[in-house]
Chains A and B, each alone.
Chain A
Amino acid sequence: MTLLEVKNLKKYFATQKAVDDISLKVEQGQIFGLLGPNGAGKTTLIRMITGIFYPDEGQIIFDGKKFDPIKDVEHIGYMPEERGLYKKMKIGEQTMYLAQLKGLKRSDALAKIKDWFIKFEMEGWWNKKVEDLSKGMSQKLQFVTTVLHNPKLIILDEPFSGLDPVNSNLIKDEIFNLAKKGATIIFSTHRMEQVEEICNHIALINKGQVILDGTVAKVKQDFKENLFSINAEQIPSMNGAAPFDIVGTKDQSHIVRIREGNNSNDVLQFLLQNGAQIHSFNEILPSLNDIFIKLVEGTPAARQFQKV
């Protein structure tokens, strides 16, 4: 089921086509990676999905209906990149306040806050102030306030910045947990290794447009360069008959590129027929990092101003 669909979304600012005709579909239960260089238009796109900006053109379909910013924000949890809390306010009251703004009743909110505080070992924090917390602690609190109202759609913009590996894992586990329970997560980051670990679907945005959209596995397949890593003894001397070329060698491991018209079985057959002792045989898929850099390379590091 599609939880969120945006169609031909446009938002132009005075000096930027921030979002220029973007269409995307996010399925329910997906962990959707929204990638792109700085200034690509991710934040503007997210702000339209969260009802902060009105699109200039295009449609947003949320949960099968036209997106209604006033009502639907109660089903969305958004943790912006520019985030923070009231420094002087007590943590318990603050969490309650944000929950009530999301439409939760006081008693419901209280029960939920207690559950989360216990889960994240934050029980003793209720009467502390945010200014007493470390950056990582306030980050955890921010995550709790984002997901407290059981949103159908959770949008996390750089959720791990400032977190140590232990707390990162805690949040990561929660993200998986929430997805398993049916929540849909849009995850925006520059950290490709996190995307690879967490997301099952990604979209890459550059200069306000989608330049790549698909599952992580499919994207990797699409960008593979037919490279394999072979760990074998006695690789036969290469001749014109071999279905591959050796690109690099280090001790017993070789990186080979399969020639056009052949497949991995041809390689194995050739090796076996020629009496090679094979220890391992792996396809080398490009990392998302490589794909990202390849696609975005050549774009100026900072987006230029343009006439709209």
Chain B
Amino acid sequence: MNKIFIIIKREYLTRVRKKTFIISTILFPLLYLGLIFGMGYIADKSKQNLKVAIIDNSGYFSDENLGFQNSIDDNSTLTLIKDSTEKIINDYKAEGFDGYIVIPAINWKEGYDSLYFKSEKSYGSSSTAAMEAKLNRIWSGIKNDSLKIGSEQQVILKKRLDVSPKNIQDENANAKTAEGIGYVAGFLIYFILLIYGSQVMMGVMEEKTNRIAEVIVSSVKPFQMMLGKILGIGLVALTQFLLWIGFVLIVYNVGKLSGGDMASGLVGSIQNMFASVNVPLVLFCFGFYFLAGFFFYSSLYGAIGSAVNEDMREAQSLSFPVTLLVIISIALMTAAINDPTGPIAFWGSIIPFSSPIVMMARIPYGVPGTVPWWQLGLSMSLLILGFIFTVWFAGKIYRTGILMYGKKPSWKEMIKWAFRKN
């Protein structure tokens, strides 16, 4: 036991003292913020202003009502073409248009459901949706005028019934906030599993290529060696997290004191989050799923590291199935957030390989409201059993692999190593 502690200490200290640890701890939050703001900026900059020629054969559209719609939404400019329509159809580009829409001679009572925005390029539905909305607003005006519906009646006609989810067990539940926290928690676990999992793999490979493995296993059991590495690197990940949480708390408190515009917005949203979500429970579950998921996956990555030689490509091809499991979990998480009580969410959060990510995305919706206690308990116990199994399995492979040089084994051979006696 004491020897595992010595190994943990070494694995932890050598990593925490590295410059890359300090840099990545500082850089990751900055990159994360940069990504969020950068994406917003790029999305803002890359808005297209489509110039569309409207060739109207119905006579309902006028320069006036198109101009009014253009002033509401400047993402597209609709221009009515009255003369030389043939010329536009043949060569709309020469006139400075991105495409054209031909409106046939239709009656206001019938409408028409297959208009085309014709262009040489392909446009997504989001570009045509805006145009469609513009034309439909004009079309509604025309219908209202024709039916002689006054502005008061128009308001009445626009009234509709709205249905949104409300959890009666948990009055404070806020689906939007829960979704946000779910996404962030799920993705953080995803990053930890991949980044720190591969750190375990690289660490084991380093011991093998440095040829220190045999020196160490003559002092400690290979299993202790592997466990020490996993626990040590797990502690590094935990340290990085605590630093980030500390960083957020500092920003929160400084923001509260300074009371600036952006800061107060941030403080407000954090307070809002505290009000609608059971923060201690979410934090506890995050800690649990983060560590248990890490044990589950990093032991598999460790086993792979022990089985391959110095060649990175061998490691990549062997670790692909494991990485795939993590990626599938993220796909399941997206489905679970859309429907946090559905069957995908349920099974995804119970089965150990995906439960760290999927369950973490469900928990912010509320326990026991969305996730009953028995599901949380079952998920946690299965994950504990799961990682005990993977650590045992990896230990068996590790013991053989770490002293084996030469050909890269296949997964089939590695499973054989695990189940043969001694």
Contacts and interface: CB of A to CB of B under 8 A. Distances in A.
Interface of A: 47, 50-54, 56, 70, 73, 76, 78-80, 82-89, 97-98, 100-103, 142, 145
Contacts of B14: 86, 88-89
Given A88-B14, A97-B10, A101-B220, A52 B403 contact: yes
A85 B218 contact: no
B212 A84 contact: yes
B125 interface: no
Interface string B188-226: 000000000000000000110011101111111100000
Contacts of B46: none
Nearest to A81: B214
Nearest to B403: A52
Nearest to B214: A80
8 contacts: A54-B422, A78-B218, A80-B215, A83-B211, A86-B14, A86-B212, A101-B6, A101-B220
B211 A84 contact: yes
Given A82-B405, A101-B3, A76 B218 contact: yes
Interface of B: 3, 6-7, 10, 14, 206-207, 210-212, 214-221, 403, 405, 422
A84 B10 contact: no
Nearest to B416: A14
B88 to A, nearest CB: 69
B219 A102 contact: yes
Contacts of B218: 50-52, 73, 76, 78, 80
A97 B214 CA distance: 15
B219 A82 contact: no
A82 B211 contact: yes
A52 B214 contact: yes
Given A54-B422, A142-B215, 12 more contacts: A52-B217, A52-B218, A53-B422, A78-B215, A83-B212, A84-B210, A84-B215, A85-B210, A88-B14, A98-B215, A101-B3, A103-B3
Contacts of A100: 6
B219 A83 contact: no
Contacts of A82: 211, 214, 405
Contacts of A54: 422
A272 B7 CA distance: 74
A50 B215 CA distance: 10
A214 to B, nearest CB: 28
Contacts of B220: 101
A287 B219 CA distance: 37
Nearest to A74: B219
Contact of A101 (B207, B219, B405, B422): B219
A45 to B, nearest CB: 14
Nearest to A90: B14
Nearest to A50: B218
Contacts of B403: 47, 52
A57 to B, nearest CB: 11
A147 to B, nearest CB: 13
A47 B216 CA distance: 12
The residue in B3, B211, B212, B221 that gathers the most chain A C-beta atoms within 10 A of its C-beta is B212
Contacts of B207: 86
B219 to A, nearest CB: 4
A157 to B, nearest CB: 9
A101 B207 CA distance: 16
A87 B214 contact: no
B119 to A, nearest CB: 59
A89 B14 CA distance: 8
B416 to A, nearest CB: 9
A85 B206 CA distance: 10
A79 B206 CA distance: 19
A83 B214 contact: yes
Q: Which of B14, B217, B219, B221: most chain A CB closer than 10 A?
A: B219
Nearest to A97: B10
Contacts of A47: 403
Contacts of A70: 221
B398 to A, nearest CB: 13
B219 A73 contact: yes
Contacts of A145: 215
Contacts of A87: 210
A84 B215 CA distance: 8
B380 to A, nearest CB: 33
A56 B217 CA distance: 19
Contacts of B214: 52, 78, 80, 82-83
A86 B215 CA distance: 11
Contacts of B10: 97
Given A54-B422, A88-B14, A98 B219 contact: yes
A79 B210 CA distance: 14
Contacts of A51: 218
A97 B210 contact: no
Contacts of B221: 70
Contact of A86 (B6, B210, B422): B210
A273 to B, nearest CB: 63
B219 A85 contact: no
Contacts of B217: 52
A56 B422 CA distance: 8
Nearest to B10: A97
Contacts of A86: 14, 206-207, 210, 212
A40 to B, nearest CB: 17
B116 to A, nearest CB: 64
- Which 3 pairs across A and B sit closest by C-beta, in order of nearness? A84-B211, A101-B219, A78-B218
Nearest to B215: A83
Contacts of B6: 97, 100-101
